[in-house]
Amino acid sequence: MRLAKYLAHCGVASRRASERLIAAGRVTVAGEVVTDPARDVEPSSGVAVDGGEVLPEPHETWMLNKPLDVTSTASEPGRRRAVTDLITSGRRLYPVGRLDADSTGLILLTNDGELANRLTHPRYGVPKRYRVRLARPIGEPELERLRGGVELDDGPTAPAEARRISGSEIEITIREGRNRQVRRMLERVGSRVAALERIRFGSLDLGDLPRGKARRLTRSELKLLWKDAG
């Protein structure tokens, strides 16, 4: 198995993040630094990250209803809590994608690097739905602009699904994962986000999971997620 895929399979990080670890010289094989992510390895190869041996572990995937001011990182050296602090598991879990500290709602955590890679890679276009409370209501022309895609500083967005819930509330579904994308899209059509909550990721609904609580996904939910990820 290729080194980057092996690290992801072992729950160290996603495949892309594993490639960055390798490029930074933090990965050794049999005591020697390896910077080639395509290096073939197996459990007996003596793979280590920052001096700690890496071996495969059973996969776990959780969904969390993220509160405000909690960061989407595996660890948080500052004053704020990280999403991993809210889950009781002995596995090396890390978040699938990001959800801003000032946003709430559904975020996935896993030690299955292949699943994380597929769920976040633009190629697979896994949909993510958000409920947004706006500082200023928008009309049908602005919703149509969102549906057609808007021009951002880093290029045009793909078309989004957008519908009104109430005067100042909308739902928007995107299939990309750019930094603060929903907020920037709404600013581009003349409004501003007052509150943003992710309520769906692929086939998973947030449902009635309480804020700050997490649960492990069932086998049937995982099967649907893999289907979402192609």
Q: So which residues are the catalytic ones? A: 100
Q: Would you state the torsion angle of the CA atoms of residues 175, 177, 178, 180, taken in this order, to the nearest 10 degrees?
A: 100
DSSP per position, 105-140? EEEEEES-HHHHHHHH-TTT---EEEEEEESS---H
- Extract the tokens encoding 169: 């509330």
Identify which of 134, 160, 130 has the alpha carbon closest to the alpha carbon of residue 145.
160
Q: Helices (H), strands (E): how many in the chain?
A: 6, 17
CA separation for the pair 11, 113 (Å, rounded): 6
- The answer to whether 37 touches 3, Cβ cutoff 8 Å, is yes
- Cβ within 8 Å of residue 68, ≥6 positions away: 101, 102, 103, 104
- Cβ within 8 Å of residue 73, ≥6 positions away: 82, 83, 84, 95
